[in-house]
Structure 1
Amino acid sequence: MKVILISLDTLRASRLGSYGYGKPTSPHLDRIAAQGALFERAYAADIPTEVAHTGIFTGKVGLTTGVVSHGSELTHLPKSTAWLPTLLRSAGFTTGAVDNLYQLKEWFARGYRYYINSVGGARAIDGKTINGLALPWLEEHKDESFFLFLHYWDTHTPYLPPQSHISRFYEAGRDPFDPANTSMERAYNHLAYPFFKHHHYDLIGEVTDSDYYDALYDAEIRYLDDRLKELDDHLEALGIRDDTLLVLFGDHGESLTEHDIYWDHCGLYEPTVHVPVIMRWPGRIPEGRRIPGFVQQVDLLPTLLEAIRKEAPEGIDTAKLADPSGLDGKSLWPAIGGAADGTHDTLYMSECAWQAARAIRTERYKLIRTYDAGLFRRPPRELYDLANDPAETVNLADAQPELADRLERQLDEWVCRKLDGRPDPLKRQLEEAGLPFRRRIEHILQGVGMNWEDWQRDPRRERFDSAAARKAGSS
């Protein structure tokens, strides 16, 4: 038995053809979805990258593991916490990864017999690099029971797809540098500009048309799709495609100017928390299965363990693959088999990087409670009727206070149950260290002789750039 778990970093579901997008971003991903199961409403429990992947490999949300913040020095995952690659290696699987999450936290390398660190420069961890490392590994281990984790970063900034891919998504003859176009001004004059200056803007040039950035994102998806086809073709050539359980997921999505977020992944809004999850296992998963109900990424761990226990491959000690205690995730197999629509009736979500917030999402409504807005202007509570306002543009918190109160109480009760008397790690982060990414901005501003308060009052690109030029000239 072979298991390949693929993280498609920063890939939002609504930008794929199989999730309803009209542009040709994902022909091969769509083909994989048609050959297996697609989860129409899959959600991240915690964002961004560090906390999302911690949840996937533990089957537990951040409030259970204590890992709720991205880039914080306060967080630690005890080695006693059950970890998917460790479980599989102890049971007899050959475990491998082509990944660079070890650069974030040491626990991401746990359990692997072969950990191939893909870290590099701006374009050195693109899909071509990942495949260049993964395909030979597959050839070497094709006759073994293995678990391979692959982490593709192509749809993460900086968006630097090949020029041939851009032309598919940006109108011929249109000038992305037209000085008469002012659609980039809000992005350039946002509080986050100093942090994003290099990767978002300097590497791409003086773009004036915000639609060009959206086209670059689409082009990156298509480039990623091509790399996934290369991987799939290699499985076919090795004769192991039909024996491979292939699982693809987005760790979080991406906001493309929605909610004052410019090509980044913060905010518990649909563009960032609604992610693709697709599974294919020929002969075991029905073709063309679409699961309509709520599921979350933490469901993947119990799903994989159940699949392996049922398959019982030779040489694998399935007794070591019992579900760990305290899981938040639930097996997806009842939904795949048609006995359920999903795994959750209500979803709970959290973030702590650019801003700190929690959310509850029901079938119809979403309530977001913001604890620290960081670089953004957010009300303490946001309530959206997703049935009538799927883009989350009309905040109903003041108009329907009783509903907002009820949902907030439900959210607070869930947090209390998860903590079970333990201190809240999100509040600890804010009280002891503050928002991790705001601290980075403050550090950058200090480097050019500016302070946070002044920048908040007047966040203009020209002001920051001129300060940086003066600093460079005096050094």
Structure 2
Amino acid sequence: MDRPNILLIHSDQHRYDCVAANGHPFVRTPNLDRVAAEGISFSHAFTPTPVCTPARNSLLYGVWPARHQAVANRGTEAGRPAVEGLPTFAQSLSGAGYHLSYVGKWGIAGDPLQAGFHDYLPGQGYRAWRADQGLPPVPSEGGWLGGQDPFVTPEQSQVGWEAGHVIDRLRAVASEDGPFFIRWDPYGPHLPNVVPEPYYSLYPPDSIPPWPSFPDPLQGKPFIQAQMRRTWGVDGWQWPDWAPLVSAYLAQITLMDAQIGRVLTELDDLGLAESTLVVYTCDHGDLCGGHGMIDKHHVMYDDVVHVPLILRWPAGADPGRVCEAFVSHELDLAATFCDMAGAPLPDTFQGSSLLPLLRGAPAPTRADIFSTYYGSQFGLYSSRMVRDRRWKYVWNATAEDELYDLLQDPAEIHNRAGDPSLREVAERLRHRLVAWMEETSDPLLNEWTRRLLLEGRTRP
């Protein structure tokens, strides 16, 4: 197998259902749709944790947060660097002869050059570039809720500026010997989404219907979910209050998609498309008004744990397929990159390569998938999720557990954890969760918590 070049586009906080190819009724993502049509889309990819820093560490090191221990965002005590000595996928690829470039958000301790990359353009450089161009700062009047940027063209937006640098890197490496790996991490559509025209007006707020999970009375659910509404000041918001936020979110996605299109066109023009694996994904999703909440963190709803994952490899994978296998995307991508590069797979890695699936092999037999939360914005509040094809069980260590019938209640409105008729379902999922926590050396599992879960003494 000829080793492919690899272009990883790893955005920030993009919901699975906000890609047209994934079923959204009106969001415009023609370039991501093209990648899906020409490649393979994974319909059941899930984040190891719905928080930026720990998810990104899981991709870099190929392990669960319990292993790398950088379990919260920077700026908190738990937002410490990963444990020393863990190898990165970038180091493996570098040792195998790849030239590695990084553009955009890093979001974890250290920097890409320390992790195995050879050059790095940080997303923070956009502010200085903007000032050098005589452009006003990005408007901040809308706070975290975002708004319009009337001062720039789409190409002058941050995602447009980053796309230009990705194109520059492609042109630089096109004439070099040896394969390349370029990772581009756009900041969007993480809030605040401040978007230039013509994208800002693309989705009129009064034309946007509520999410299926809106409204959610939060009946029988952990109090922290209601507290989150109060923390953000959105308690009592009706859909007309949320719609402008969703409008800006969708606008940012379409703006980003257009800039991805510029990069894909450059791949074509340079004659690199056939020999390049293109990967699009993100770190986690976004509530964005779902369940009447904002951002992510302490919930395990599909709004935040279900992520888009699209791979295109013309030289090695048949186009237009949808794979329904469960994928722990950050861990599995790290293993995939090493596999495709012919690079050594560190024995610390905990994911599985997706290369067999790209080649059309039968899907692996993962019967379930997991996600974790360790606190961050809300102290030491911790959760663990196990999800199979029908049921999702969430163990909240200091609050009510959650159980959702995803077949009958895909919006996850009705918590069935206390339903006596589902006692056997809950018991099966708790036992599976304990087994997985043991496999991954989860620090939350001890003699006491094991008994709580196995004996069903958690709080229904």
Specify if TM > 0.5.
yes
Report what 1:450 is aligned to.
none
Find the counterpart in structure 2 of residue 226 from structure 1. 258
CA shift in 2, pair 1:384/1:192, >3 Å? closer
Counterpart of 1:351 in structure 2 is: 373
SS in 1 for 2:73: coil
* Mapped partners of 1:225, 1:299: distance in 2: 24
Q: Which residue of 2 aligns with 1:150?
A: 184
Equivalent of 1:91 in 96, 111, 117 = 96
Counterpart residue type for residue 90 of structure 2: P
Runs of 4+ in 1 over 4 A off after TM superposition: 120-125, 171-174, 189-197, 263-266, 422-426
Query: 1:191 offset after TM fit, Å?
Result: 4.8
**Residues in 1 aligned to 2:111 and 2:298: alpha-carbon distance in whole angstroms:** 23
Matched, 1:366 2:398: no
Q: Distance in 1 between matches of 2:17 and 2:291?
A: 16
Amino acid at match of 2:319: E
- CA 43–172 in structure 1, closer or farther in 2 if over 3 Å, else same: closer
- Partner in structure 2 of residue 405 of structure 1: 427
* Helix, strand or coil at the partner of 1:287: coil
- Distance (Å, rounded) in 2 between the aligned partners of 1:343 and 1:128: 40
Q: What is the identity, as a one-letter code, of the residue corresponding to 2:100?
A: T
| Equivalent residues of 1:95, 1:146 under 8 A apart | yes
- Matched position secondary structure for 1:163: coil
Tell me how far apart the structure 1 counterparts of residues 207 and 280 of structure 2 sit (CA, whole Å).
36
Q: Which segment drifts farther, 69-78 or 155-164?
A: 69-78
Q: Counterparts of 2:445 and 2:65 in 1: how far apart (Å)? A: 9
Aligned: 1:126 with 2:158: yes
* RMSD (Å), alpha carbons: 3.0
Taking the aligned partners of 1:133 and 1:272, their CA distance within structure 2 comes to 29
Per-residue deviation at 1:125?
7.5
Q: Report the residue type matching 1:250 in the other structure.
A: C
Distance 1:165 1:6, change over 3 A: same
With normalisation by structure 2, the TM-score equals 0.77
CA distance in 1, matches of 2:19, 2:305: 15
Name the residue aligned to 2:200: 166
- Contact kept? 1:247, 1:279, Cα under 8 Å: yes
Select the structure that is richer in helix.
Answer: 1
5+ residue gaps, structure 1: 175-182, 201-206, 310-320, 373-378, 427-475
Distance 1:339 1:132, change over 3 A: closer
Matched, 1:10 2:13: yes
Q: Which residue in 2 is equivalent to 1:443?
A: none
8 Å Cα contact 1:42-1:275 kept in structure 2? yes
Q: Percent identity?
A: 25
Which residue does the alignment assign to 2:314?
A: 282
CA deviations on 1:219-262 (whole Å, 9 max, x unpaired) are 11111110100111111222212221111112101112223422
Using the TM superposition, give the Cα deviation of residue 16 of structure 1 relative to its aligned residue in structure 2, in angstroms: 0.7
Counterpart of 2:457?
A: none
Give matches, 1:238-317, under 5 Å. 238-264=270-296, 266-297=298-329, 298-309=331-342
Closer, same or farther in 2 for the Cα pair 1:219/1:140, shift >3 Å? same
Deviation at 1:170, TM superposition (A): 1.2
Aligned to 1:212: 244
- CA 405–389 in structure 1, closer or farther in 2 if over 3 Å, else same: same
**CA deviation string 1:20-73 (max 9, x = no partner):** 111132111001110111111111112211111111122211123233322343
Task: Report what 1:416 is aligned to.
Answer: 438
Q: CA deviation at 1:169?
A: 1.6
2:26 is equivalent to residue 50 of structure 1: no
Deviation at 1:264, TM superposition (A): 4.2
Residues 256 and 323 of structure 1: CA distance in aligned 2, closer, same or farther (over 3 Å): same
Aligned length: 389
Alpha-carbon distance, 1:272 to partner? 0.5
For residues 403 and 325 of structure 1, what CA distance do their matches in structure 2 show? 35
Task: Report the Cα distance in structure 1 between the residues aligned to 2:56 and 2:302, rounded to whole angstroms.
Answer: 19
